Structures are given as C-alpha cells and as structure tokens.
Copies of this chain bind each other. A is one copy, B any other.
Amino acid sequence: MSDISSMAAAAKAASHKMAVLDSEVKNNALKLIAEELNASSAKIFEANVIDIKNAEEQNLDKPLLKRLKFDEKKLKEVTDGIGSLIGLDEPVGRKLLHTTLDDGLELYRVTSPIGVIGVIFESRPDALVQIASLCLKSSNAVFLKGGREAENTNKVLADVIYTTGVKAGLPEGWLHLLTTREDVNAMLSLDKYIDLIIPRGSNAFVQYIMKNTLIPVMGHADGVCHTYISEDCDRDLALKVLLDAKTQYVSVCNATETLLIDESLKASFLPVIVAALREADVEIFGDEQVSSMFRCEKASEWHHEYLDYKIAIKLVSGIDEAIEHINTYGSGHTDAIITSSKEKAEKFMDSVDSGSVLVNCSTRFADGFRYGFGAEVGISTSKLHARGPVGLEGLVSYKYKLYGNGHIVADYSSGDKKFKHIRRNV
C-alpha cells in the first residue's frame, strides 16, 4: 500500500469518527484552532517570508505574489472566518424529511457528512484555513493540496490545524497535507476511500482532474459569463452594471466575457458602450457587424474565457437568440440580463441553464460570500449535488433513518397491512 493509500485509509476511518462528533467538540476545536493560529503567528509569517522570497527569486508575477502573502491582515481574516463558522448552525444531523410510513414505522431523511474530501487549491494559504475549517464544521475528513509556491506556509498552517484539532478531540488522520503532484495523481486513483474531489485552478487543470479519476468532481472548468442588454433596458443602469461585470476584477470566473446586445441598439446605444469600455482599457472583439462598425478584431470563438481587459460583443435579434447563444456557448456558470421587462427577466432566468442567473445586476455577485454562505469551497457548474457557489450545505450528503418495531415487508406485500405515508413537518 502506497503512503497516500494508507493515509487515505486512515482518513476514511477518521471520517466515520468525525460523523458522530458533537457540535460542541467541533466548535471547540475551531475555537482552539483560531487561538493556536494566533499564537503561532511568528512561525507562520516566518514560513511565508521564505515562500515569498523563493517566489520573488523565480520572478513570479505580482498578482501571484499578492495572493501568496500571509500577514497579520490575512491571519485576522481567517480567524474571523473561523469565528463566523462557529456561529453557523450545525450542518450534520439536520432533519430534511419525516414520514410516518405506518404505525410505529418512522422514516427520516437526515443530513450526514460526505466522508473524505480532496481539495486541490491555488497559491493562497488563507484558502487552506478556510477549506480545512469548512470540512471540520461539516464533519468531513480532508486531503489538502495547495500551490507549490505556498509550500512552507501551508505546512505550518496544516500542522497547527491538524495537531490542535486532534488535541481538541478530532480523530487522528482527519486532515492530510499532500505536497507533490505525484501525491495528487495517487489520490485520484483512490475512489475506494475518497468521496469527492474539489479542484480549483485553471481550465486545463480541472479538465485533467475530471478525466483522470472515478471520484466525483465538484467545481468548474471555466466561466464564460454573459451580460445580455435588451432594447428596453435602462441605459444608465446597463452601462454601470456592464462596466462592473467586465472590469471590477477581470481575472475571476464570474467576470463577464461576452456582451450580447439587441441589434436595435446598435446605432443608438452600442457606440456609447464601446466608448466607455475602451475608456476603461477594455479591448473589443466583435461579430461581423460590430468589428466593421468599431474597427476591432473579430471574435475567433464564442466560448472563450479572457480573464483580462477583453470582451466579445455580439448583436442578437432579441431575447430568444440571446438565450440560445448562452445555452450553446456559455459554461453554465453565471449570466445576466439587463431589462425593464419583468416578463423578459423571468423568461431569461427560467430558460438560461446556468448556476446563477441575474437581472439588472453584475455577474460579479455570483460568489459564496456575497450570497451570504460565509466561506465557499468553490463554484460548481455541475447540475448534480451542488450548483453555483458552494458553502457548508454542499459539503453534506444525507441518509435515511428508518425506525421500526419488528416491521416486515411480507405484511405489506401480502396486503395484510397498508402504508400510511403521512408527511410530517420537520
């Protein structure tokens, strides 16, 4: 048995013990972890200085260096985050359904942990703390693999979190830190022990994970988000929202990548939009008409995630073409309509097959924190299990509990007894 395989077996065993932990034990562990992170700040910052120094020597770009940094401010953010997690309701053991099948035969659907979750995340050490504490709160054992650049910081953080957790009553083996790409590949083959993989990172990376494991994968490969401007829009509102959706933060999955706009607005409003986008340093890629009208390049393909100050613009004949375009070329992530018509808004929101559909606001809102879920483990474009921004609720499953008193199926098959199926309030 490889190292990773025996670690995974240990995590599986730990997950069964995690499943029966009291809320008090888990919340106390979270409290102690936050305290111990504060007490270990010198050690953490020291490790982070080494990671930053190494990254600078390797000429990593500025945004990455910024994400890599773990200082007093980041420490306060993550310990505050743990504090709010403690305050959230217990996610495990929540009754979702109660049906009296017959006298003395009571069925419950109750939330339960998923088991062992493998999370592969980018070079933000604060992500490690968020993910570990979300998994703890939801009674899941966890495999963590962070960016190589954050190696030293992650090691100290994981040590503090794991050791403090065990001291506070969590089972041994509840958290494992993986350090190499080979470890990740080994993990992908352990569908016997690992119940869910959450990959965060580039499109190519997520695709690679999805194609190389039998373990269910939750996440998104890309975010080709659209804003559709309908002819009946409020123009000031449309312009303000579009600029936010495109430029507020360009390198994120919920930034708008394609503008669809009614053809009837091409002379009266589109020039204003294009001027404003160009004023904000956004490069335009147009369809046939747009590229000739505004002397810009043609968009080479419609399913394209720029993650940059770039936008594709396409004229559409109306809402039906807009919906069809999005359902054909989008990625099921986040799409918005700007309209004054309630009917059009409802049609768009019902017909567009995406995790988040928005009316008259920026696609940038599609995010676990902004949606009020506390932290998020990622955004899912899968339609199974969890969709859209995923918080604690996406980290639990459920099981059915049936309480009887000697009930046998033969009595119901023979017709001697009949099911009552009385739905109770939960």
Contacts and interface: CB of A to CB of B under 8 A. Distances in A.
A360 B401 CA distance: 11
B400 A357 contact: yes
A241 B408 contact: yes
Which one of A370, A372, A384, A388 has the highest number of Cβ atoms from chain B below 10 Å of its Cβ? A384
A384 B387 contact: no
A211 B214 contact: yes
Contact of A101 (B109, B195, B211, B372): B372
Interface in A369-400: 370-372, 382-385, 387-389, 397-400
A410 interface: yes
Contact of A398 (B195, B214, B372, B387): B387
A169 interface: no
A83 interface: no
B19 A353 contact: yes
A234 B362 CA distance: 63
Most buried by B among A101, A211, A245, A397: A397
Interface in A1-56: 15-16, 19-20
Contact of A385 (B243, B370, B384): B384
B402 A365 contact: yes
A405 B237 contact: yes
Interface residues of A, number: 79
Given A195-B383, A405-B361, A370 B101 contact: yes
Contacts of A241: 404, 406-408
A5 to B, nearest CB: 15
A115 B382 CA distance: 11
Contacts of A244: 408-410
A350 interface: yes
Given A383-B115, A410-B244, A401 B361 contact: no
A384 B218 CA distance: 10
A138 interface: no
A154 to B, nearest CB: 27
Given A20-B350, A362-B409, A370-B409, 15 more contacts: A19-B351, A101-B365, A115-B353, A211-B214, A237-B405, A244-B409, A357-B400, A359-B403, A360-B404, A364-B408, A364-B409, A365-B407, A372-B421, A372-B423, A383-B397
